A and B are shown apart, each in its own frame.
Chain A
Amino acid sequence: MKTVLGGIFVAVVLAVVAGYLLPRAQEPAHRAFSTQSVRVGDPGTNLVGPTWSGEGQVPPPGKATATSSTGSSHE
């Protein structure tokens, strides 16, 4: 019985460690698909959400038409 619980425990612990390490292999699209000569200031958050996970966030009332800040970065 001890080995059964031990096996489950070790599996879970290793899974948690993997869960902590795997997201380090993650890279947002705006970093992966920029070349060296590109300087991406603010890549924007529309459609992808503030955390670039795809979970959107409703913009505050003043920006209902959501004019992006990327457009103004080249002024």
Chain B
Amino acid sequence: MIAQPITARLLCSALAALTLAVLLVFATPLSAQTSGGQPKSPSGSNPTASSVNEQKLLQELDRLSGRVTVPNPQLAMLEQPQGRSYQSFHERWLPWIGGIAVLGMIAILLVFYLWRGRIRPTPEERSGRAVVRFSAFERLNHWMMATCFIVLAVTGLNYVYGKRLLMPLIGAEAFADWSQWAKFAHNFIAWPFMLALLLMFILWVKDNIPDRYDAAWLRAGGGLFGGRQPPAERFNAGQKLLFWSVIIGGVLLSVSGVIMLFPFALVDLQGMQIAQYVHAITAVVLTAVILAHIYIGSLGMEGAIGAMTTGTVDQAWAYHHHPAWVERQRRGQVQGPTIGPGEVPAS
């Protein structure tokens, strides 16, 4: 009978220990706060504490994606709040940037024309003799580029401004039909544009390398604001600026454009958004630059358009504006366009 009290004491101790253990195990969750201050679950478990949290994930990863059971990889993206940034860019920033660039340039050109008027050749610049400035191939390529650019600019601007400016005038259905056509035109004309860009680079890169006349030409403002016309080689610094704007802008447009033309073939969703930012900003800025180019080449300077349609300019005018080029032609170094049979040489 002596064992009974010991067993009983042992049992009591064991029971006490067990109770204490159970209380300890359950007391901790009982007293702990659940995440987010939510009331506790009856079992004491809190699956949310170990699970993913949307806001935390967004802070860490920027976008949420997981696993889906369908083969379309785009569907694995659960949430990309960047869509709202894209909305903000497309509907607030871009229309303003484009509007300021294009309308601002038109305003500048108008002011310049009203102040300076049409730049005409002086009497010393009219010799009556012609010299070849651009070969037929150069001119053909230029006009191919010009056609493409104008179509691309108009159809491209339609994506941003069409619904704001044109749709109220012609109604939703007609505007949608026009936009469909404009979309196809934009996509198809892009290819001759890229070809023309490549040819333009090959044809004219040699004559657009910066040379020793450029700094002085820029300092004199190209003679646009009065004063003597500074000398230049075949292309002056202003023309070189235009060339490089077109080449660099054109390459940016081409690369971003091809990326957008084949969705998700080369980049992911973020890449597509960035491609659109680059394409849109480059496009509106380059459009503004080309508006200035169109102005100076047509209305702004008399005789300029003849250079690109007939290919010839007045010899004295050429000697006045591009003396280094005329000298080079006279020395017989064939770096400009080759003079074909029947055409007037520069001497």
Is there a direct interface between A and B, measured as CB atoms under 8 Å apart in the complex?
A: yes
CB contacts (< 8 Å) of A29 on chain B: these are 72
Q: Which of B147, B189, B190, B261 contacts A7 (CB 8 A)?
A: B147
**A66 CB-CB contact with B under 8 Å:** no
Known: A8-B147, A33-B72. A18 touches B140 (CB 8 A): no
CB contacts (< 8 Å) of B144 on chain A: these are 6-8, 10-11
Residue-wise, chain B 131-151 has the 8 Å CB interface mask toward A (1 for contact) of 000001001111111111001
Residue-wise, chain B 176-216 has the 8 Å CB interface mask toward A (1 for contact) of 00000000110111111101100000000000000000000
Give the contact-size bracket for chain B. 20 to 34
Known: A25-B262, A33-B70, A33-B71. A15 touches B188 (CB 8 A): yes
A18 engages B309 (CB within 8 Å): no
Residue-wise, chain A 21-37 has the 8 Å CB interface mask toward B (1 for contact) of 01001000100111100
Known: A1-B309, A3-B136, A25-B262. A11 touches B70 (CB 8 A): no
CB closest chain-B residue, reference A6: B140
A18 engages B188 (CB within 8 Å): yes
Residue-wise, chain B 223-243 has the 8 Å CB interface mask toward A (1 for contact) of 000000000000000000000
* Distance of A44 from chain B, by nearest CB (Å): 15
Known: A3-B309, A35-B71. A15 touches B143 (CB 8 A): no
A14 to B95, CA, bound (A): 31
Most chain A beta-carbon contacts within 10 A, residue among B72, B142, B143: B143
* Distance of A27 from chain B, by nearest CB (Å): 11
A8 engages B143 (CB within 8 Å): yes
B184 engages A19 (CB within 8 Å): yes
**A16 CB-CB contact with B under 8 Å:** yes
CB contacts (< 8 Å) of B151 on chain A: these are 11
A17 to B220, CA, bound (A): 47
* Distance of A32 from chain B, by nearest CB (Å): 8
CB contacts (< 8 Å) of B192 on chain A: these are 10-11, 14-15, 18
A11 engages B148 (CB within 8 Å): yes
Q: Helix, strand, loop or mixed for chain A's interface?
A: helix
Residue-wise, chain B 291-320 has the 8 Å CB interface mask toward A (1 for contact) of 000000000000000001101000000000
Residue-wise, chain B 277-295 has the 8 Å CB interface mask toward A (1 for contact) of 0000000000000000000
CB contacts (< 8 Å) of B140 on chain A: these are 3, 6-7, 10
Q: Which of A22, A25, A33, A35 contacts B188 (CB 8 A)?
A: A22
CB closest chain-B residue, reference A8: B147
* Distance of A9 from chain B, by nearest CB (Å): 9
B309 engages A4 (CB within 8 Å): yes
CB closest chain-A residue, reference B189: A15
* Distance of B204 from chain A, by nearest CB (Å): 16
B143 engages A7 (CB within 8 Å): yes
Q: Which of A4, A11, A34, A35 contacts B189 (CB 8 A)?
A: A11
* Distance of B109 from chain A, by nearest CB (Å): 22
A33 to B147, CA, bound (A): 39
* Distance of A40 from chain B, by nearest CB (Å): 11
A11 to B194, CA, bound (A): 11
A4 to B141, CA, bound (A): 9
A16 engages B71 (CB within 8 Å): no
CB contacts (< 8 Å) of B185 on chain A: these are 15
A7 engages B191 (CB within 8 Å): no
CB contacts (< 8 Å) of A15 on chain B: these are 185, 188-189, 191-192
CB contacts (< 8 Å) of A14 on chain B: these are 191-192, 195
A8 to B70, CA, bound (A): 47
6 contacts between A and B (CB under 8 A): A3-B140, A7-B139, A8-B147, A11-B148, A11-B151, A15-B192
CB-CB nearest 6 A-B residue pairs = A7-B143, A14-B192, A3-B139, A7-B144, A15-B188, A18-B191
Other A-B pairs beyond A10-B192, A15-B189, 8, CB < 8 Å = A6-B143, A11-B189, A11-B192, A14-B191, A17-B191, A18-B188, A22-B187, A32-B72
